[in-house]
Chain A
Amino acid sequence: MTAAFTVVEPVMGTVASITVVSERTERVERAIAACVARLRDDERVFSTYRDDSDISRLRDEGLELGDVDPRVAEVAADCRDLRERSGGRFDAHWRGWFDPTGYVKGWSTDAATRAFDELLADGEVEAVGVNVGGDMRLRTAATSDHVWRIGIAHPTHEGELLATVEVVDGAVATSGTSERGAHLVDPRTGVHLAGPVSATVIADDLTTADAWATVAAIAGIDDLDWMPVAPVASGIVWEHGRTRRFAGRVEVSAFHDALVG
């Protein structure tokens, strides 16, 4: 099998690790550059840390959605839909203004990864994985038997894994509290989650996985009511040492624990 190489680029206040299973050709380098450029351009539009971003101007200058970059309206529609389907567990308006930060990273990563569409279609790239700050979109050419083996970081034991999962083409996202101060706020109450809690979701694309991982983490381990309506493949929720796993809208941890116990 072809060897893999990884390119690391700072973006969106975190780091994008792009791993490509292919020869390092000029065409591949151009796709990597296009991928990073898309991430950075979405950051320019959506960053709440920049006063001149479309999101900040929407908030500060009283602009309408029609006055700013069309990507904002697209994301706003997605967020409204997600708020409804998640029963308010996800809400980009919880601060009183539109802040889609919890949604944009996954959505942007999916879009950026399309830079590899042609290379995957003609087989020049066997597989590509784009990991932005711990959430990743994984693609594999139809002609390849490559399988991505993904580790899920243990939420409290630094350097250790909680679980592994194998993905051919899809996405893995994890939301939760961490020692380095990742914040999670329940939009229904405005309360910061104390944690430690961690939720990982596997879905077809990262837009979906990232959004529902946030929903799962906010909901916590005792609330899987959202799971039957979520368009996700599988996942794991961890809280205070307890785990629950689900796949295809069925929880499996329950009888697993019963059998082992």
Chain B
Amino acid sequence: MKKIVYALMATVTGLVLLFSYRTSTVPESTSALADAPSSDVATVPKTTPSPSASASSGSSSTSSGSSSAQTSSSGLTDGAFTGQAANTRFGPVQVQITVSGGAITDVQVPQYPSESGRDQQINSRALPVLVKETVQAQSAEVDMVSGATYTSTGYRTSLQSALDQARA
């Protein structure tokens, strides 16, 4: 249980920092949230640990750490933890953190503001997930590669070219 509390605190901290970041441009109403102490559960949304699969359809790449419940010296339990949606000036924001090997490996925003119903579909998508430096494209199992525009010559040695050859 203690481990879960640590994870909750981490998520809560994440939310508070999110608000803090925004207060540079937001006056009155939201800054009240940012000023709230992290122990004040009345103003900071409660957090429920949940399996990552249910939280975001696009987050499967970060869920590897969630199957095994290990705890390291950092006190963080491996897994994915989702905060309840918090209302900001920009609409509801919900934060999910992924802990792997005791470190927070990713922060995602499964739900975030939108102006129209059409945005809702794209909003269910995850953020770009940072890849560990050692990961090569070939082992990342991607369908396509986005990068600064290559010339016809540059294409030949590009990652996209390697993928295309495999699927020609």
Contacts and interface: CB of A to CB of B under 8 A. Distances in A.
B150 A151 contact: no
Residues of B in contact with A, size category? 35 or more
B164 to A, nearest CB: 5
A234 B152 contact: no
Given A15-B155, A165-B129, A168-B125, A160 B146 contact: no
A14 B149 contact: yes
Contacts of B93: 248, 250
B131 A233 contact: no
B147 A163 contact: no
Contact of B128 (A129, A170, A245): A245
B130 A163 contact: yes
B21 A14 contact: no
A233 B121 CA distance: 10
A5 B167 contact: yes
Contacts of A147: 57-58
A153 B10 contact: no
Q: How large is the interface on A (under 10, 10 to 19, 20 to 34, 35 or more residues)?
A: 35 or more
B146 A152 contact: yes
Given A5-B168, A166-B58, A243-B130, A248 B140 contact: no
Contacts of B129: 163-165
Interface string B26-65: 0000000000000000000000000000000111110000
B137 A15 contact: no
Contacts of A159: 136-137, 159
B61 A164 contact: yes
Contacts of B161: 15
A135 interface: yes
A236 B108 CA distance: 13
Given A5-B168, A17-B164, A149-B143, A164 B131 contact: yes
A212 to B, nearest CB: 14
B49 to A, nearest CB: 16
B128 A250 contact: no
Contacts of A136: 144, 146
A150 B123 contact: no
A220 interface: no
Contacts of B57: 147, 168
Nearest to B56: A166
A252 to B, nearest CB: 6
A172 B146 contact: yes
B146 A234 contact: no
A27 interface: no
Given A252-B18, A252-B109, A152 B104 contact: no
B127 A252 contact: yes
A101 to B, nearest CB: 10
Interface string A141-179: 000000111111101010111111111111011111110
Given A19-B144, A249-B113, A170 B122 contact: yes
Contacts of B80: none
Interface of A: 4-6, 8, 10, 13-15, 17, 19, 105, 129, 131, 133-136, 138, 147-153, 155, 157, 159-170, 172-178, 180, 182, 198, 200, 202-204, 228, 233-236, 243, 245-252, 254-256, 258-260
20 contacts: A5-B168, A133-B155, A134-B145, A134-B147, A148-B143, A148-B144, A149-B142, A150-B143, A161-B137, A163-B128, A165-B58, A166-B58, A166-B59, A182-B150, A198-B148, A234-B126, A248-B90, A252-B109, A255-B13, A255-B107
